Structure 1
Amino acid sequence: MGSPLYRRIAQQIKKEIESGQWKQGDSIPAELHLSEKYEASRVTVRQAIKVLVEEGLLEKIQGSGTYVKEQKIEHNIFELISFTEEMRSLSKEPVNRVLDFQLIHPPDHVQRKLKLSDNEKVFYVRRQRLVDEVPYVLEDTYLPVNLFPNLSYQIMTGSKYDYIEKEVGKKIKDSFQEVIPVLPSEDIAEALTVNVDTPILKIQSYSVFEDGTVFEYSENHFKSDEYKFTLRASRP
Structure 2
Amino acid sequence: MAAPLYKKIAQQIKEEIQSGKWQEGETIPTEHHLSTTYGASRVTIRQAIKQLVEEGLLEKVQGSGTYVKEQKIEHNIFELVSFTEEMRRLNKEPVNQIMKFEMIQPDDHIRRMLRLGENETVFYIRRQRLVDDMPYVVEDTYLPVRLFPNLSYQIMTGSKYDYIEKEVGTKIKESFQEVIPILPDPAIAEALQVNSGQPILKIQSYSILLDGTVFEYSENHFRSDEYKFTLRASRP
Q: Do they fold alike, i.e. is TM over 0.5? A: yes
Identity percentage over the alignment? 77
3-state SS of paired residue (1:86): helix
3-state SS of paired residue (1:219): strand
The equivalent residue for 1:221 is 221
3-state SS of paired residue (2:177): strand
**Which structure 1 segments of 5+ residues have no match?**
none
Distance 2:113 2:70 in 1: 36
Letter in 2 for 1:159: S
Deviation at 1:12, TM superposition (A): 6.9
Distance 2:215 2:34 in 1: 57
Letter in 1 for 2:138: L
Deviation at 1:51, TM superposition (A): 5.8
The equivalent residue for 2:115 is 115
Deviation at 1:116, TM superposition (A): 1.5
Distance 2:77 2:10 in 1: 34
3-state SS of paired residue (1:99): strand
The Cα offsets for residues 120-163 of structure 1, whole Å up to 9 and x where unpaired, read as 11111011111111211110000011110000011001110010
- Listed as ranges, the matches of 1:1-236 within 5 Å are 14=14, 17-18=17-18, 20=20, 22-32=22-32, 42=42, 46=46, 49-50=49-50, 52-53=52-53, 56-236=56-236
Distance 2:181 2:15 in 1: 35
The Cα offsets for residues 18-58 of structure 1, whole Å up to 9 and x where unpaired, read as 45554323332433455677898755654664564465422
TM (normalized to structure 1)? 0.85
Distance 2:215 2:8 in 1: 54
The Cα offsets for residues 48-93 of structure 1, whole Å up to 9 and x where unpaired, read as 6456446542223455421111211111111111111111122222
Q: 1:15 to 1:172 in 2, by over 3 A?
A: closer
Distance 1:88 1:227 in 2: 16
Distance 1:226 1:98 in 2: 21
Distance 1:48 1:116 in 2: 57
Per mean C-alpha deviation after superposition, the further-off stretch among 207-216 and 28-37 is 28-37
Letter in 2 for 1:195: N
Letter in 2 for 1:127: R
Distance 1:109 1:33 in 2: 60
Distance 1:209 1:18 in 2: 41
Q: 1:44 to 1:175 in 2, by over 3 A?
A: closer
Letter in 1 for 2:78: F
3-state SS of paired residue (1:111): helix
**Which structure 2 segments of 5+ residues have no match?**
none
Per mean C-alpha deviation after superposition, the further-off stretch among 138-147 and 49-58 is 49-58
Q: 1:8 to 1:208 in 2, by over 3 A?
A: closer
3-state SS of paired residue (2:190): helix
3-state SS of paired residue (1:178): strand
TM (normalized to structure 2)? 0.85
* RMSD over equivalenced CA pairs, Å: 2.7
Deviation at 1:9, TM superposition (A): 7.1
